[in-house]
Structure 1
Amino acid sequence: MPVTTRTVEYPADGLTMVGHLALPAGADRRPAVLIGPEGPGLNDFQRRRADALAELGYVALAFDINGGRWFSDPEEMLAYVMPLLADPDRMREIGHAALDVLRAEPRTDQDRIAAIGYGTGGAIALELGRDGVDLRAIGTINAVTTGRPGEAAHIRCPVWAAVGSEDPIMPPAQREAFTAEMQEAGVDWRLVVYGGAQHAFHHPTVDHTVLPGVAYHARHAERAWHDVVGLLDECLPVVSPA
């Protein structure tokens, strides 16, 4: 049986979010994964990632952050995203709304959920952890963001983070602040720095203007996806039904 997908609409942050749910073959409960998009919004890249995880046996929800919009204008995107990134409570509201949709899916194993995200979506995944959500793993790419003092101690699962060495948006000082926060909180954390990669190195080239310091790196994109799958296999293994 093939993977099945459907669009799901749900309210969050005063908007109607439009997510993409992918279900593996079968009818049994499976571990589940939230997938958060980068600042411009949810597009076919994250939808395909959800489909790929469903092919591996996971229930996967690629969630929305912009009310179904995709920002092709970098300045318009920043005007929306920067206030969001500065407001942990808004990020948590968006994350919890998506988590509620994932938990409402009958195929989801309620006790086995992970959250991964890219850019803004990764920051939201981290905020769910800082809010004490019972997750099995958190994975972020291009999002080594720090939170409010002391709240990282609420993270209850391993955290894997990835960033490009030449990322001007997540520079060395930001990486150091993130790792110091994780270490002080006693989190089981890992940071992978991909040499020569810039911001959003995981995302295939788009056909509109991008911010300086943003560039695709095909080799590291493949490696990062391999590492994400490895994180899930370690912390959230799929057990096929007998």
Structure 2
Amino acid sequence: MTTVTTRTVEYPADGLTMVGHLALPAGTGPRPAVLVGPEGMGLGDVERRRAEALAELGYVALAFDLHGGRYLGDPEEMLARCLPLLDDPDRMREIGGAALDALCAEPRTDPDRIAAVGYGTGGAIGLELGRAGVGLRAIGTVNATTTGRPGEAARIRCPVWAGVGSEDPIMPPARRDAFTAEMRAAGVDWRLTVYGGALHAFHHPPVDHPVVAGVGHHPRHARRAWRDVVDLLAECLPVTEGPGRGTDEHAGAGH
């Protein structure tokens, strides 16, 4: 296993002090980098492990924060914060842009080679960075087939991959259809993977607190979704030196 260095990174966004988790690969030179966005609950150990798994692959990875260092395990509190956020593209862009600035402040980040990978709310933020015209190399989302303001998807300048569970009541077929229609109309290089039988947040290992209805872990599809993310990055943001594939176990997808 390669040596991965981690540290906490604090930065301001949305009127809060955000507390991100930065993972650096072995070596000293600049590397491609990945923003890792969490589900609506916020930054937790699952996202930290995913950032570290990406660092094992040779990427600089920042798992960014949504709630000022807090993890919202109470579904009502999480929804009270996230639903207004998801309805406000400018706030999402502010949160994502601040995380991107923090990632670019790391000397080992190659600022011309950055991708965004996000889950749920974190995935929606990645899409909004694309709609804002940020020069990302790839956008990958799970559970975030969200649409933006009319016409702004034309600013997306990179491939977009989205994964969603077929039985996800939060991102149902109508939401998926609207997302794909938006991508088609904008001429985006997009893909959608539907994981049969999976619910919302199927990628996330079970948690020890209440969750919203329609959430459920699917271990097999969790592993597949992680491989799909890694393949997207390998295609659009290849690492020219360093180790090979990271494991889904380190990403929290195989538990």
Note the 1:98-177 alignment, pairs <5 A: 98-177=99-178
Which segments of structure 1 move beyond 4 Å, counting only runs of 4 or more?
none
Question: Could you tell me how far apart the structure 2 residues matched to 1:210 and 1:114 are?
Answer: 29
> Which SS does the other structure have where 2:115 is aligned?
strand
Question: Could you tell me how far apart the structure 2 residues matched to 1:5 and 1:70 are?
Answer: 19
Deviation at 1:152, TM superposition (A): 0.0
Tell me: higher relative CO, structure 1 or 2? Use CA pairs within 8 A at least 6 residues apart.
2
> Which SS does the other structure have where 2:12 is aligned?
strand
Identity of aligned residues (%): 78
Q: What is the root-mean-square deviation in Å for CA atoms of aligned residues? A: 0.7
C-alpha offsets along residues 134-174 of structure 1, whole Å, 9 cap, x if unaligned?
00000000000000000000000000000000000000000
Question: Could you tell me how far apart the structure 1 residues matched to 2:21 and 2:213 are?
Answer: 29
Aligned match of 1:23: 24
Aligned match of 2:76: 75
2:223 is the alignment partner of 1:222: yes
> Which SS does the other structure have where 1:225 is aligned?
helix
Question: Could you tell me how far apart the structure 2 residues matched to 1:225 and 1:30 are?
Answer: 21
Deviation at 1:72, TM superposition (A): 1.0
Question: Could you tell me how far apart the structure 1 residues matched to 2:27 and 2:153 are?
Answer: 37
Question: Could you tell me how far apart the structure 2 residues matched to 1:112 and 1:197 are?
Answer: 32
Question: Could you tell me how far apart the structure 1 residues matched to 2:202 and 2:16 are?
Answer: 29
2:39 is the alignment partner of 1:7: no
Question: Could you tell me how far apart the structure 1 residues matched to 2:241 and 2:73 are?
Answer: 41
* Gapped regions of structure 1 (runs ≥ 5): none
AA of the residue aligned to 1:224 = A
> Which SS does the other structure have where 1:61 is aligned?
strand
Aligned match of 1:49: 50
Aligned match of 2:245: none
* Gapped regions of structure 2 (runs ≥ 5): 243-255
2:205 is the alignment partner of 1:204: yes
C-alpha offsets along residues 156-213 of structure 1, whole Å, 9 cap, x if unaligned?
0000000000000000000000000000000000000000000000000001111111
- More off after superposition, 207-216 vs 163-172: 207-216
